[in-house]
Structure 1
Amino acid sequence: MYKGKHLLVDCREVPRDLCLNDQLLLESLAAAATEAGSTVISQVRYKFGQDSPPGCTAIVMLDESHCSVHTYADLGLMAFDFFTCGHTDPKRIWSIISSKLGIVNATVTEHGRFEVPAEAAAADGEFAQRTLSHR
């Protein structure tokens, strides 16, 4: 049994303009996390390109942990990271984000974090490690 849930999402064929829109990505992460029941405590974004390949990073710190995205605009790639502890389901955050941004080509991997005895995880329910894909 696990106390934490970690969702890693690799997206391909993402439009360049979306990969460069750090403000939209940050706002979308924060809104999706809030809609899914998380508490946002801080946010930061950064656009790369001067001395790095074009892209951006956006991070939303949560009371429950964090959500982030890193992009490679020239390659049409986005990597999302959703890590939550407690009641918030990272799959719900991803569902909201992918719908809002229109992302259809992604590989999703789930991991349990903080393995604990069954009685310690009972309040949050069992979380099994597995891998999911969709196109």
Structure 2
Amino acid sequence: MIKVGEHITLDFLGVKKNYPKSFYEKIIYKIAKAAKVEILNVSSHEFQPQGFTLVALLSESHFSFHTFPERGVISFDFFTCGKVHPKVALKILKKEIDHKRVVVKSFDRNSVSLYDDIYSTPGQKKYYVVNNVLETFTSKVGQFVEIMNLEEFGNALFIDHELQVAEKDEKIYSSTFFRSSYELSKKNNNVAIIGGGDGGVARECLDNNTNYIDWYELD
């Protein structure tokens, strides 16, 4: 894994006060001092009839404010490669901004990505932690194929964004398919596999001394 820093976003909700430009210009230096970062340049703009945006360029990256007075929201984000976590800004801003609730999102900036589980629901999101994408391509019949290295499951095969098989439990998965049909017949010399594109079932057949495999696959 390659890590380059930490990032935090803060959305203050239920803000009724329209803070002046000077408020933000002052508070950024409090945050910079607490986070031990160096401000190189500051750019800001006041919108009409309302709203304000500010970006502070840092030696260690940036932080910014953007306000939505009509919605009662002040949004802040802070990305740094420094030694102090950007979450130090939360304590300062919670004291300075009169608000009802704050939404905090904190994450590392690194080479690890999150892959949506297609069986997530609007109220319950699930992800696979991806260490590396090994291969992606579209098959001859139009299936989108991805081979990825997952943090928990090792190398894994996805087809059309759905997990098919993973290194961690592939042996159990393939052997279950194999045994469920193999034990139905005493004559197991010849086998037909319909599908089975990952090859696990074919391997199980060969490991159990199958003489002949007739393998049918879409592509």
* Interval of TM-score (by shorter of Structure 1 and Structure 2): 0.7 to 0.9
Q: Which residues of 2 match residues 1-135 of structure 1 at below 5 A?
A: 2-18=3-19, 21-50=20-49, 54-115=50-111
TM-score of the aligned structures, taking structure 1 as reference length: 0.73
Structure 1: give runs of 5+ residues left out of the alignment: 117-135
Q: State the Cα distance separating 1:104 from its structure 2 match.
A: 4.7
Instruction: Quote the offset at 1:17 in angstroms.
Output: 1.9
Give the secondary-structure state (helix, strand or coil) at the position aligned to 1:98: helix
Identify the structure with bigger relative contact order (alpha carbons < 8 Å, sequence gap 6+). Answer: 1
2:6–2:81: 8 Å Cα contact kept in structure 1?
yes
Amino acid at match of 2:29: A
Paired residues, number: 111
Q: Give a deviation string over 1:88-133, Cα, whole Å, max 9, x none.
A: 21101222222233445110001211338xxxxxxxxxxxxxxxxx
Residue type matched to 1:22 in 2?
Answer: K
Aligned identity (percent) is 28
Which structure has more helix as a fraction of its residues? Answer: 1
- Whichever residue aligns with residue 6 of structure 1, its letter is H
**2:67 partner amino acid:** T
TM-score using structure 2 length: 0.47
Counterpart CA distance in 1 for 2:109 and 2:46 is: 30
Unaligned stretches of 5+ residues in structure 2: 113-219
**1:23-52 Cα shifts (integer Å, max 9, x gaps):** 2112202221123211111112211115xx
CA contact (8 A) 1:26 1:44 kept: no
